[in-house]
Structure 1
Amino acid sequence: MRLFSSIIAFLFGFTLWSQSYQLGENYFDQGEFEKAQAVFEKLVAQNSRDLRSVQKLVATYQELEKYKLAEDLLLQQNKPKVIYPNLLVSLGHNYQLQDKNEAAQEAFQSAIESVSKNQGYAYSVGRMFQQYALLDWAIKTYEEALKQRANSSFTIELARIYGEKGNLDKMFGSYLDLLVDQPNYLFAVKRNFSDFINEDANNPANKKLQQAILAKNQEKPMLVFNELLSWLYVQQNDFQKAFAQEKALYLRSQKDNIQGFLNLAQQAKDSAYATSQEILNYVIAQEDQIYRILQAEYLKLELNMNRAEPEVTAQLFNQVFEKYQSLPLQDWFDIHLLYADFLLKTKSYAEAKAKLDKLNQLNLDKFAAGQVKMRLGDVAVKTDKYNQALIYYSQVQLDLPNSALAEEATFKIAKTSFYQGDFEWALRQLNVLKTATSKFIANDALQLSVLINTNSNAVLDTTFTALKRFAKADLLAFQEKPNEALALLAKILQEHVGEEIEDDALFKKASLLENLSKFEKAIATYKSILNLTEKSIYIDESLYALARIYELELKDKNKAKAYYEKLLFEHEDSIYFNEARQKYRKLRGDLIK
């Protein structure tokens, strides 16, 4: 009972202290320093070792230019048997405010000497120097602490300060020293380096970093430095040099891991497609573990599907099937599933269904079986067998509840119902997806829901003519019949001018034109959406699409940057915000995150 009473008393006292401290802070922030002084003096009188209140009272005295009171308070805290070195920094700063520079230097030096005796004081002293923007003294603090023994926290603080001061050589050196002792800090180090380097290999910071890594790797060869060099070359889009570093990593680690190669091939696929293929061919030739070889084969086929002519990709698939025909089908299931995707893409629906039916007969886990059934559903929709499609999608829902694949299946049920003109059932499915874990599924569900709700007003259109036409055009697009879809969209845009369906039809038209590589027409259509209304749910997507076309297809960086900028400033809630910010910064040439 006595213990319980003590706890209650402590909590009550802490609550009162918090309320008083917050009141004092509010007065301070509002510039009412006399009132803040009264509050903090009372708190310090109640507990002279309450350093937060002491420091706040010192700051209040300084705002009121009551430097003597601040000095007396700070001196009272540091007595022979009780030392607070960080308050010596505050004392020195107080002297600086009075232009007593000699006294300030003595106080600062005393704080440093405390650190030389006890490394444990380094962080509080260093942070206090940083708080007062006394960066040179903060550097001395951490350097003094590191003389005693290595400490990753101090090395990181030291590197950050060097960066703030623009001393790139020392900053890079400090971070590289950190990696010698703590290679697991590589991700954090890359993130910090990103603030200083860009895609220009001739940028002074890039050059300094490359030289620093090469020198450190020569002094103390470590895999982490090859990995860091590879990362730097990727930022500079020099994928051949990155490939050389990945090979060095691979060979020095006794061929322990191919993930670096796979990641690099993915990163190189757009601007250095030939290099991405060279990387994967190297893995296939060098590896002796079949599952790794198949990983590389899969990625090579996937990249070819998106870049090469269908005949070339088909030939590659046949070569792979012949090479590994002795393997059990289940061991390279992913490649066979990818082949089914290729057959779907090339409208070989009968072959796709035959392949998927064969895969469906295997003893698959639920997730793999779900992937097969999703594609069987897609084949059914593409061949106008909607009820069969709904059965497949529903099976995935039941077999994998609460999974991302189940959410996708739910969305496809909604889309299939939408294609059939069953808008009420489609809306019921879409309502389930309001809390979908995938932001893209949630966004697509929201767009379709808004489309149906805004275009199914029985007062305006009892037959839902425009909505049914749009659903048919959407289906034709899914069935890889873009020209038929565009013809129907043109009819909608001609006969339903000024109706809610107009921006939906324009966006679908623009997307189809973009997929057909008719970029100028796509641009004109996306711009029509921007000019049509500011309330369209497609504004941010149109801005993002315009930026991407100008950046990747037309190579007009200035126009791309302008559209990314408009998206960033006017649509902070867009799902494309983070990606647009990254690309905008890269185009502007300042940061690469």
Structure 2
Amino acid sequence: MKILYILCLLISTQVFSQDDSFAKEYFKNGDYEKALFEYKKLYAQSSSNINYISQIITTHQQLEQYAEAETFITELIQRVDYPSFLVELGYNYQLKKDMAQANLSYRKALASIDENPNNVFAVARSFQNHTLLNEAIIAYEKAMVLKPDYNFNLQLAQLYGEQGNIEKMFISYIDFAEANPLSLGNIKRAINDFISEKSENENNVIFRKIILKKLQQEPNLLWNELLSWLFIQQKDFKKAFAQEKAIFNRQPESLLRIEELAAIASNENELDIAKEIYIFITQTAQDANTLLEAHYNLMQLETKQSSKENYQAIDATYQELFKKFGTFSQTLKLQIAYAHFLAFYKNDTKKATSFLEKTLELPLSELQKAEVKLELGDILVLQEKFNDALIYYTQIQRNLKNSTISQEARYKVAKASYYKGDFKWAESQLKILKSSTSQLIANDALDLKLLITDNKYEDSLQTALKLYAKADLLSFQNRNDESIALLSKILNEHKTEPIIPQALFKQAQLYEDKIQFDKAEANYEAIIANYRDGILVDDAYFKLAELYENKLNQPEKAKALYEKIIFDHADSIYFVDARKKYRALRGDAIN
């Protein structure tokens, strides 16, 4: 009978929910007497509808008609043995300040779980609905003792989190993950709200101690994985690497996790540990693809960190790799990287072009040929042979229509046209790319289009825009000192034109690359002070905040700027990151 009644509750909820719009509207507007009247009419038609029952109780309570609510709930309890109503009765007593009767009803509701552990679902949910967290916790814990098959650790973790009992929350999340390994991703996301990038944060320390204790009690790769994840959140990639090696030693089937860690470390500009990880992969990997990918990434890092004095050694390493692995289609990525190194770092465009032309003679797919031609086009742009570059880019568009690489080629056509001052043609290409399937290309296209559109009408000769495009090209050519000088010319000679904030921002980024942080700081501050209504102000706030936080060791200044984004630029793309960084600097334990 009881099961049949509960089924009726669920079915009637769906059948009649479409008829309660008037009652909902009255309730929403605070017109509780009319809402109560409507809900009673609906209840008369469907006395098993749990929504109507709940709303009648709540509406009586909103009107402070506690006696009427008590009568209604008591009649329900007499009519059906549904222990959730005992919680509702107890809460009604609580609203009347009669805690003795309230606690009596709560104890009866909890006792119903002893009689039938399945009652936990309705009882615990009712306790949670009324923010009776202790009682909800007792209900779940009791049911798990009575019926060990039940696992309410996830619910318990959420309740402990609401209570601020961080240690118990972590333990419950971890116990749930241990029993449900497929849920680990969701568990990490939940825990992430309670930890910080700071290793000394109290919650981080608690979490680490729990995992280390688990690791001592029983070997389980889950504990290594969680430790590695924690260290990654703290940007302590060396410790994360130690855990990942421990996992690999137990499960040497794949290096994928270690490859992912290397990529994360590299993206975070932790280049030394990234190199260490890639070296480990080159010494450990058995399959050629993994080896080649690791060598490719290692060479990228070596090049990024090296000065001209080391270029000959890098060239020699490339030659050793080609001697070992050959110059076949399998090493295409490495060949393109070598050509890029020759052209953009050693300034040997002739050798780079000749090398890639030989690469094109290999048996390559159309996509592989396109990748080579894209690099050849870039080398021609480097030499300012724009029309020759356009030939390669156009070939890619013609041969691989609607592909991502075709869209990238179109963007490079627009960029080359922009570099040589053909802004009209560049705009026509960028307009098409705004709907690119690649979000990155679409965003870059939109940014460049806005730059051109905002500045092409100010001066019929487009002098400032042409100078800026030239400075942009110099930056592309790794001639950063010349680019900075040209941007200074714009700032001095075109002070009233809209290109100024863009020039300040571009120059600030180049100053950062040259470790001239004081000059970068001055540029960002100039944008904030003089162009606070412009589209770059939130970029300037965020970049300056990162500069203070990561380079100039001025966390309080960084915090103030992140706060500015949170309160004044809620629509900014930096909003989420700014909020996270602000809370970390403020020392928040949780989000």
TM-score, length of structure 1 as denominator length: 0.89
- Correspondence for 1:368: 368
- Distance of 1:437 and 1:588 partners within structure 2: 39
Superposition map of 1:90-101 within 5 A: 90-101=88-99
* Aligned residue among 190, 195, 208 for 1:210: 208
CA contact (8 A) 1:582 1:592 kept: no
- 2:168 pairs with 1:170: yes
Superposition map of 1:215-364 within 5 A: 215-253=213-251, 255-269=252-266, 273-312=271-310, 315-316=313-314, 318-319=316-317, 321-323=319-321, 325-328=323-326, 329-346=328-345, 347-364=347-364
Change (3 A) 1:550 1:367: farther
- Correspondence for 2:396: 396
- Correspondence for 2:86: 88
CA contact (8 A) 1:586 1:592 kept: no
- Correspondence for 2:10: none
CA contact (8 A) 1:301 1:317 kept: no
**Which residue type is aligned with residue 260 of structure 2?**
N
- Distance of 1:307 and 1:350 partners within structure 2: 24
Task: Note the C-alpha offset of 1:120.
Answer: 4.2
- Please give the per-residue CA displacement for 1:21-72, whole angstroms capped at 9, x wherever unaligned: 3332333233222122122122212211111121111111011111122122
Task: Note the C-alpha offset of 1:491.
Answer: 3.0
- Distance of 2:456 and 2:269 partners within structure 1: 45
- Correspondence for 1:574: 572
CA contact (8 A) 1:229 1:242 kept: yes
CA contact (8 A) 1:229 1:245 kept: yes
Task: Note the C-alpha offset of 1:16.
Answer: 8.1
Task: Note the C-alpha offset of 1:366.
Answer: 4.1
Counterpart secondary structure, 1:435: coil
- Distance of 2:500 and 2:321 partners within structure 1: 52
- Distance of 2:125 and 2:401 partners within structure 1: 50
**Which residue type is aligned with residue 390 of structure 1?**
L
- Correspondence for 1:26: 25
- Correspondence for 2:544: 546
CA contact (8 A) 1:330 1:362 kept: yes
- Correspondence for 1:447: 447
- Correspondence for 2:48: 49
Change (3 A) 1:273 1:112: same
**Which residue type is aligned with residue 194 of structure 1?**
N
Change (3 A) 1:485 1:217: closer
Change (3 A) 1:274 1:497: closer
- Distance of 1:213 and 1:509 partners within structure 2: 46
Task: Note the C-alpha offset of 1:95.
Answer: 1.7
Task: Note the C-alpha offset of 1:407.
Answer: 3.0
Task: Note the C-alpha offset of 1:381.
Answer: 0.9
Counterpart secondary structure, 1:325: helix
- Correspondence for 2:159: 161
- Correspondence for 1:66: 65
Task: Note the C-alpha offset of 1:440.
Answer: 4.0
- Correspondence for 1:3: none
- Correspondence for 1:179: 177
Task: Note the C-alpha offset of 1:272.
Answer: 5.1
- Distance of 2:329 and 2:559 partners within structure 1: 47
- Distance of 2:81 and 2:63 partners within structure 1: 27
User: RCO (CA 8 Å, sep 6+): is it higher in 1 or 2?
Assistant: 1
* Aligned residue among 190, 195, 198 for 1:197: 195
CA contact (8 A) 1:439 1:575 kept: no
Change (3 A) 1:354 1:229: same
Counterpart secondary structure, 1:76: helix
- Please give the per-residue CA displacement for 1:346-399, whole angstroms capped at 9, x wherever unaligned: 133223323332333333344433332222111111112112222222233334
- Distance of 2:257 and 2:274 partners within structure 1: 12
- Distance of 1:168 and 1:349 partners within structure 2: 59
Corresponding pairs, count: 575
Task: Note the C-alpha offset of 1:137.
Answer: 0.9
- Distance of 1:183 and 1:218 partners within structure 2: 20
CA contact (8 A) 2:237 2:273 kept: yes
- Distance of 2:407 and 2:116 partners within structure 1: 57
CA contact (8 A) 2:241 2:261 kept: yes
- Distance of 2:311 and 2:232 partners within structure 1: 27
Moved more, 20-29 or 541-550: 20-29
- Distance of 1:395 and 1:315 partners within structure 2: 35
- 2:535 pairs with 1:537: yes
Task: Note the C-alpha offset of 1:324.
Answer: 5.6
Change (3 A) 1:303 1:84: farther
**Which residue type is aligned with residue 537 of structure 1?**
I
- Distance of 1:399 and 1:123 partners within structure 2: 61
- Distance of 2:123 and 2:43 partners within structure 1: 21
How much identity, in percent, do the aligned residues show?
40
- 2:432 pairs with 1:435: no
- Please give the per-residue CA displacement for 1:299-326, whole angstroms capped at 9, x wherever unaligned: 2222223223354465245335425624
**Which residue type is aligned with residue 68 of structure 2?**
L
- Distance of 1:170 and 1:503 partners within structure 2: 51
Moved more, 165-174 or 62-71: 165-174
Change (3 A) 1:494 1:217: closer
**Which residue type is aligned with residue 334 of structure 1?**
K
- Correspondence for 2:461: 463
- Correspondence for 2:424: 424
- Distance of 1:501 and 1:306 partners within structure 2: 30
- Correspondence for 2:512: 514
**Which residue type is aligned with residue 193 of structure 2?**
D
- Distance of 2:544 and 2:476 partners within structure 1: 22
- Distance of 1:138 and 1:560 partners within structure 2: 42
Counterpart secondary structure, 1:221: coil
Counterpart secondary structure, 1:227: helix
Task: Note the C-alpha offset of 1:151.
Answer: 4.0
CA contact (8 A) 1:360 1:369 kept: yes
**Which residue type is aligned with residue 385 of structure 1?**
K
Change (3 A) 1:283 1:447: closer
Moved more, 395-404 or 217-226: 395-404
**Which residue type is aligned with residue 417 of structure 1?**
S
- Distance of 2:182 and 2:204 partners within structure 1: 22
Task: Note the C-alpha offset of 1:157.
Answer: 0.5
Change (3 A) 1:129 1:507: same
- Distance of 1:342 and 1:555 partners within structure 2: 34
**Which residue type is aligned with residue 134 of structure 1?**
L
Aligned alpha-carbon RMSD (Å):
2.8
Counterpart secondary structure, 2:434: helix
Unmatched tracts of structure 2, length 5 or more: 1-12
Counterpart secondary structure, 1:341: helix
